[in-house]
Structure 1
């Protein structure tokens, strides 16, 4: 295998990898191949020229990091305007929140062209290029137009919606056509692959030329599911460290008279947080034995607080939590402990371990690694129960969890009650199966399997073939 080149919107120093992140997944291969990681530096140049940006290249051990500054106009249109104002809501099935009239598509294309111009001179003929996520869908097409003939793979970390939703995006044909510049396109779930296949056959009149291989626009692309995992052993080591043990002991002592439920999410409309809180209210109403007994610890990390939709959901969540605590709380018991800040990762394993039930109930999610982290953190002799939305990508891999429809408030409350009442034998059986699955399909499997499949994919199209498309 040649040198691995990773391209993502943001990049991290692989020597300082946080468990579960891209740095863990890719760090080993980057180090082994003397790889290159390319992405936005995080710096916004207020008076910068659109379509231009300074590139900073430096070494992190054997890995080269190449960081590109963006002008404010480019950042606002590419990142805030199109990637997060159009693609994020649509790909999470929220057409009502997409800003189709913003006119930011030009900035999205311009920044992808900028990435290509800055990356191309750094490439070597035998490099394997792996591009990540919705910010950079057209990057391979831009590289091909410049003459790049390397193998290029793409992985979408968020869901791909079905064709009728995808087709609501203005210029959706251009967006999906750009995917045919890749040799391999990876998705989180088999459902996402089905959505891609249905779209390209219906909208691009693509023909199937092999198992999950599609030909259109004079090019062939392979589409496969590669569900991302976590580094189970590393997360469990984190759970044995001092900070996690202290968190566990403190939490158990603080809530010694309670059964704890936990939710850990970014504050995002895709996570189903208001629906979860309403289901907890229904639990207290329908099963009053949980009053003064069950406490929900809900962590909602700040996210994109300058966007109206996120402010709206924050206010709704705070109002719901306050209402439930006011209606049901007492001097010695508060039903919900709502935390609107980021909890240090090193403390999360201890927090998970102290809880009897995890509520992972997004309305739509590409994968959701909290579900896997909760399982990894549990005491195998007395494990907690995972309640999981059927609309999370993780649901395909984790059928032993208790599945819920987060839109069904009463049904979700019933399943939470089932989780709280589950026998030790059933908890052990379900947990053992879940743990076996996340160990087998961990983050290292994900990386190896994607790169192996990319290496075996058809030869990349020539620049002549691409330009003729």
Structure 2
């Protein structure tokens, strides 16, 4: 029986615990437990020595982790992945800082990792590669003569040609992506953008509905919207709040608005703060009766753009609170720290409004987690950006344009005053989708399709 080999930039906690793991880690670990196999990824360590792989065995899963040299980390991770691919794929060309040596380093690290993985791979293993750090990984494997089925899933958006054409190595990236047997995207718009970009740089032949030939290769391109575990989220949410939080919730008279994001410019956090300010200005009846909690732990703190947004948010939070606060009431709580996922689900359940307004997002699992955590007899209201992949599924959320602060403020006012019957109806429709397209459906659909892809011949003309 073939094993599953998962490759991602970061590897999950090597003890394999699920309690604090995010949606990707949960889905992957369950896939590996079902099939048996290996998770190969970076351990987060920097070392100038070529260290042996750090291995750990848990049940039938082998965790194999590598370290990076400082120059590799800088070029592959900090520079090309996170100051070229990430901003460009989130439609922020103004933040792209392209240097050819960073792109070369990005490709070299992918080739190095493929070389370290190759001795661990058996002929009938299936490889599942994740996210934008590893766009060239299949091409690196093919150079080594690997003929395994290799699938790729992109967790972030794929940009339209107006954006993608600005990347100097766009042709090389697209050609390397065609070395994958199956490419999965979060939304149909991403799939179409990839096909559009490919057709602009080479001849593309459509072999069937979602299989294409380009650069002498055939690649299947499909949509797999990632989901959550609604049952486990409900169980976590139903548990009692820790005593200190329960005491705080009792003291906070009124309704609570919650947002949880990584500290990232793609999440629309300054625009969200400004929309909340507009709510307080235009709908003064809510003053003193609501509180907005923004949880945004630092991510990529060594990238300048992330340092800038943290400073901006701290300034905005202070300004808004300085203007509207009273001795008895503080409207905005900005918390720049990490909370365990198990605790967040409980917090979600006790908040009347979930505010999820990214400027651009592949899926956004927080939106689904908020809905799944609610009491179906008295649910909160989800306000969701139209530019999140989740908006294609959660159509009964209050969908907003995050750039329209007046529109978001109006949606907040509507959510805070929505009748119970309407809240129940909207929540029930979203739960149908979340339950059907859960994390199990996502991983099984992708892996079943990957297994069905015709294997590359053991010998090739190259």
Q: Which of these residues, 223, 226, 236, is aligned with residue 225 of structure 1?
A: 223
Cα distance 1:102–1:416, how it changes in 2: closer, same or farther (>3 A)? farther
Shift of 1:2: 1.4
Q: Which of these residues, 344, 349, 352, is aligned with residue 345 of structure 2?
A: 349
Please give the alpha-carbon distance, in whole angstroms, between the structure 2 residues aligned to 1:355 and 1:298.
12
Q: Which residue matches 1:41?
A: 43
TM-score (norm 2): 0.96
The 5 Å alignment of 1:321-332 reads 321-332=317-328
Q: Which of these residues, 450, 455, 460, is aligned with residue 459 of structure 1?
A: 455
Decide whether the 8 Å contact of 1:204 with 1:216 is kept in 2.
Answer: yes
Shift of 1:205: 2.2
Decide whether the 8 Å contact of 1:19 with 1:235 is kept in 2.
Answer: no
Q: Which residue matches 1:237?
A: 235
Q: Which residue matches 1:309?
A: 305
Please give the alpha-carbon distance, in whole angstroms, between the structure 2 residues aligned to 1:197 and 1:357.
37
Please give the alpha-carbon distance, in whole angstroms, between the structure 2 residues aligned to 1:247 and 1:192.
43
Moved more, 125-134 or 337-346: 337-346
Structure 1 residue runs without a partner (length 5+): none
Shift of 1:34: 2.3
DSSP 3-state at the match of 2:460 = helix
Shift of 1:60: 1.7
Q: Which of these residues, 250, 255, 273, is aligned with residue 253 of structure 1?
A: 250
Shift of 1:247: 6.8
Q: Which residue matches 1:135?
A: 133
Please give the alpha-carbon distance, in whole angstroms, between the structure 1 residues aligned to 2:339 and 2:34.
32
Cα distance 1:20–1:57, how it changes in 2: closer, same or farther (>3 A)? closer
Decide whether the 8 Å contact of 2:234 with 2:374 is kept in 1.
Answer: no
Please give the alpha-carbon distance, in whole angstroms, between the structure 2 residues aligned to 1:462 and 1:75.
34
Please give the alpha-carbon distance, in whole angstroms, between the structure 2 residues aligned to 1:459 and 1:420.
54
Cα distance 1:307–1:19, how it changes in 2: closer, same or farther (>3 A)? closer
Decide whether the 8 Å contact of 2:23 with 2:227 is kept in 1.
Answer: no
Q: Which residue matches 2:402?
A: 406
Shift of 1:63: 0.9
Structure 2 residue runs without a partner (length 5+): none
CA RMSD of aligned residues (A): 1.6
Q: Which of these residues, 420, 423, 437, is aligned with residue 433 of structure 2?
A: 437
DSSP 3-state at the match of 1:191 = helix
Decide whether the 8 Å contact of 2:149 with 2:456 is kept in 1.
Answer: yes
TM-score (norm 1): 0.95
Q: Which of these residues, 25, 30, 44, is aligned with residue 23 of structure 1?
A: 25
Matched pairs, number: 460
Cα distance 1:175–1:199, how it changes in 2: closer, same or farther (>3 A)? same
Q: Which of these residues, 366, 369, 373, is aligned with residue 373 of structure 1?
A: 369
Q: Which residue matches 1:262?
A: 258
Decide whether the 8 Å contact of 1:205 with 1:216 is kept in 2.
Answer: yes
Q: Which residue matches 2:276?
A: 280
Please give the alpha-carbon distance, in whole angstroms, between the structure 2 residues aligned to 1:251 and 1:120.
53
Please give the alpha-carbon distance, in whole angstroms, between the structure 1 residues aligned to 2:143 and 2:100.
27
